[in-house]
């Protein structure tokens, strides 16, 4: 607080007052707000250097200034106070009380925030996001009362500032600024190159992170380019700005279908960090994407490529283990389980079975596909049988009609056939009275090998 003898102690160094008058003149002469702020910061740095070397803090009257520029008045009021005095008290080192008001006059409920020894404006904006519904890039906090070392000519607090003592602020949420195609392209290019500082500045205009730019039939978005380039920090920054984690991009078909999503691209790169960041931002784990005109899923891609950790992350985010996926090597739509079985991914097969993937929804069924493999996937067969896959499930038509047991015999995988027969004897298959079917074939391998 300002003491009674503040008026009498305005013997603050004359250099400080000279600096204030100098900045007033410079701001008037320059006229350009950006350049003016640069000059302002240089002069303010000199003022702070003088303040840092003082012994007892002295107070000074507000210097007379006849300039009409609002920025100058804001500077003088902010650093000398409305009553013309500078406080001679040292700022508290701890945030004691914090109150934030909307422009409408409504006070935001900050009970859950509590008080901390150190709280920056940026941290406060992040915590205000659930209350106001806007990311920090659209928030402006105006200082009403308390300690602040703000150097912004706009009157809003800089994100790096630390709040002290009793503080009252006004929260203003801005709409997105009008954006030119050049500005959209600049954000996309900066995101692709991982230029965090430049993207931070563009988002703080504030600029909509979901605006895309088109080059012929290729649509690009900032988030899509950041994912393609593998810049996890950039991805997190754009998601913080409310970039849509499910927005399609890439080559566009005549039907309007876009070939990529951020999640599909991250999965194809086996980039677990980015996959987790997108899922945390509620990317649709079941969203289909298009490659060569056939719908695919992120989980199906992870299963086909053998990306176990990515598959686990997708299943944890409730990716559907029964959603069909176009399996291009076999030119069929298949469940993730059948895809994983065909490429011999035992660990992923177990993950899918734990997530209650069905063993009977494909044709051929996963058990038959495991028996068809030349690599004799006994572990996969065992896992499927443990999940109650039926070794007698028939598939195909006419002369091509078969069953997993029949496939194993035709491929010469007699040990696997015996395993299935043994499991069948342990389950309800025994009750159907046809136990001798497989045994007669297993005991006469020549009949199936010819």
What are the residue ranges in the chain where pLDDT is below 70?
Answer: 1-94, 112-117, 145-155, 216, 253-258, 291-293, 327-331, 374, 376, 424-450
Q: Are residues 32 and 69 in the same domain?
A: yes
Q: Are residues 76 and 136 in the same domain?
A: no
Q: Are residues 120 and 57 in the same domain?
A: no
CA dist 367 → 194, 356, 371, 392 (Å): 46, 15, 6, 10
Query: Please, which residues have CB within 8 angstroms of residue 81's CB and are 6 or more apart in sequence?
Result: 2, 62, 87
In a domain, 337, yes or no: no
Contact 229, 194 (CB under 8 A): yes
Given 46, 80, 114, the domain boundary residue is 80
Q: Are residues 74 and 105 in the same domain?
A: no
The range of the structural domain enclosing residue 422 comes to 359-450
Q: Are residues 364 and 417 in the same domain?
A: yes
In a domain, 61, yes or no: yes
Map residue 271 onto helix, strand or coil.
Answer: coil
Q: What is the 3-class SS of 304-353, one letter each residue?
A: HHCCHHHHHHHHHCCCCCCCCEEECCCCEEECHHHHHHHCCCHHHHHHHH
In a domain, 441, yes or no: yes
pLDDT at 22 (0 to 100): 56
pTM over 0.75? The answer is no
pLDDT at 84 (0 to 100): 38
In a domain, 389, yes or no: yes
Phi, psi dihedrals of residue 126, rounded to the nearest 5°: -60, -35
In a domain, 439, yes or no: yes
Q: Are residues 395 and 437 in the same domain?
A: yes
How many domains is the chain partitioned into structurally? 3
Q: Are residues 105 and 69 in the same domain?
A: no
Q: Are residues 365 and 448 in the same domain?
A: yes
In a domain, 273, yes or no: no
Map residue 201 onto helix, strand or coil.
Answer: helix
Q: Are residues 447 and 365 in the same domain?
A: yes
Q: Are residues 109 and 148 in the same domain?
A: yes
In a domain, 29, yes or no: yes
Whether a cis peptide bond, with omega within 30° of 0, leads into 206 is yes
CATH number assigned to the domain comprising residue 124: 3.10.20.90
Whether a cis peptide bond, with omega within 30° of 0, leads into 364 is yes
Q: How many angstroms from the chain centroid is the CA of residue 105?
A: 33
Q: Are residues 103 and 42 in the same domain?
A: no
Q: Are residues 28 and 104 in the same domain?
A: no
Given 173, 195, 217, the domain boundary residue is 173
Residues linked to residue 139 through DSSP beta bridges, in sequence order: 173
CATH number assigned to the domain comprising residue 366: 1.25.40
Torsion angle of the four alpha carbons 104, 106, 107, 108, in this order, in degrees rounded to the nearest 10: -90
pLDDT at 289 (0 to 100): 83
In a domain, 247, yes or no: no
Given 173, 192, 211, the domain boundary residue is 173
pLDDT at 122 (0 to 100): 92
Contact 349, 383 (CB under 8 A): yes
């Amino acid at each position: 607080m300002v003491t009674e003898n503040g008026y009498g102690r305005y013997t603050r160094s004359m250099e400080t007052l000279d600096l204030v008058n100098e900045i007033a003149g410079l701001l008037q002469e320059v006229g350009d707000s950006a350049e003016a702020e640069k000059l302002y910061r240089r002069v303010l740095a000199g003022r702070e250097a003088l303040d840092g070397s003082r012994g007892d803090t002295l107070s000074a009257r507000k210097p007379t200034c006849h300039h009409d520029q609002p920025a100058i008045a804001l500077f003088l009021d902010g650093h000398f106070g409305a009553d013309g005095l500078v406080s001679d008290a040292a700022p508290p080192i701890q945030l004691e009380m914090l109150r934030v008001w909307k422009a409408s006059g409504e006070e935001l409920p900050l009970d859950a925030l509590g008080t901390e020894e150190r709280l920056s404006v940026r941290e406060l904006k992040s915590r205000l996001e659930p209350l106001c519904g806007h990311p920090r890039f659209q928030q402006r906090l105006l200082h009403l009362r308390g300690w602040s070392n703000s150097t912004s000519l706009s009157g809003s607090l800089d994100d790096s500032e630390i709040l002290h003592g009793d503080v009252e602020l006004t929260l203003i949420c801005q709409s997105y600024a009008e954006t030119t195609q050049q500005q959209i392209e600049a954000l996309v290019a900066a995101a692709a190159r991982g230029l965090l500082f430049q993207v931070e500045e563009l988002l703080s205009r504030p600029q909509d992170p979901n605006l895309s730019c088109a080059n012929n039939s290729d649509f690009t978005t900032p988030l899509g380019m950041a994912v393609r380039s593998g810049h996890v920090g950039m991805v997190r920054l754009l998601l913080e700005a409310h970039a849509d984690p499910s927005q399609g991009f890439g080559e566009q078909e005549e039907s309007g279908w876009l070939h990529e999503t951020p999640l599909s691209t991250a999965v194809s790169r086996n980039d677990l960090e980015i996959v987790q960041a997108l899922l945390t931002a509620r990317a649709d784990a079941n969203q289909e994407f298009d490659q060569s005109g056939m719908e695919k899923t992120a989980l199906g891609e992870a299963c086909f490529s053998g990306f176990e950790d990515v598959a686990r992350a997708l299943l944890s985010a409730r990716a559907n283990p029964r959603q069909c996926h176009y399996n291009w090597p076999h030119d069929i739509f298949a469940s993730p389980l059948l895809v994983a079985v065909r490429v011999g991914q035992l660990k992923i097969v177990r993950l899918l079975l734990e997530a209650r993937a069905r063993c009977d929804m494909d044709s051929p069924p996963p058990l038959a596909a495991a028996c068809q493999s030349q690599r004799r996937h006994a572990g996969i067969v065992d896992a499927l049988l443990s999940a109650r896959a039926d070794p007698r499930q028939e598939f195909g038509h006419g002369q091509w009609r078969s069953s997993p047991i029949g496939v194993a015999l035709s491929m010469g995988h007699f040990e696997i056939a015996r395993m299935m027969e043994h499991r069948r004897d342990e389950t309800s298959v025994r009750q159907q009275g046809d136990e001798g079917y497989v045994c007669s074939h297993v005991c006469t391998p020549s009949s199936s090998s010819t």
